[in-house]
Amino acid sequence: MESHPQSVSVNMEPYSWNRAGSPSTAFGPTVTSFVQPQPVPNPQDFVLWSFFNAIYCNPFCLGFIALVFSIKSRDMKMAHDPAAAGSYGRTAKYLNIAALCLGIVVTIISIVVLVTYFNSLQVGNHL
C-alpha cells in the first residue's frame, strides 16, 4: 500500500463574510489578556540618615553599621529582592534610632558635665 500525503485546502483570503454581513477572519477573533502585577512597595533604605549618624552621631560605631545595612538594602533593591531590602532597611532604621538616641544622650551628658566643671572652677576662683 502506498502512502500519499493527503491534500488539504486552506482558505487564503484574509476575510470572509459571515451571515450578518460583517467581515470575520478565518481563525476567529484574537483575544489578548494582560494581567498587570500588583506594584511592590519600595522599601526604604535610610542612607542619608545613616550617613548623618556615621559622621556626626556614631556611638559604638552604630552609625557606621547602620550605613552598611543601608547600602545592603539599596543593593537588594537594585537586585529586585524587596524582602531582603526591607529586612536590611528595618535593621538600618533600628540602628539609626539607637545611634541617634545614644548620641543625643551622650551630648547632653557631656554638656552637663562641662557646665558643672566650669561652674566649679569659677566658684573655686571666687573664694
Domain assignments of the chain as residue spans, ordered by start? 46-126
How far lies 82's CA from each of 10, 14, 72, 88, 117, in Å?
A: 52, 48, 12, 10, 51
Predicted TM-score (pTM) of the model is: 0.65
Q: pLDDT digits over 38-61, tens only?
A: 776 789 999 999 999 999 989 899
Q: Is 29 helix (H, G, I), strand (E, B) or coil?
A: coil
CB atoms within 10 A of CB 56: 12
Percent of the chain surpassing pLDDT 90: 60
pLDDT level of residue 79 (50, 70, 90 thresholds): very high
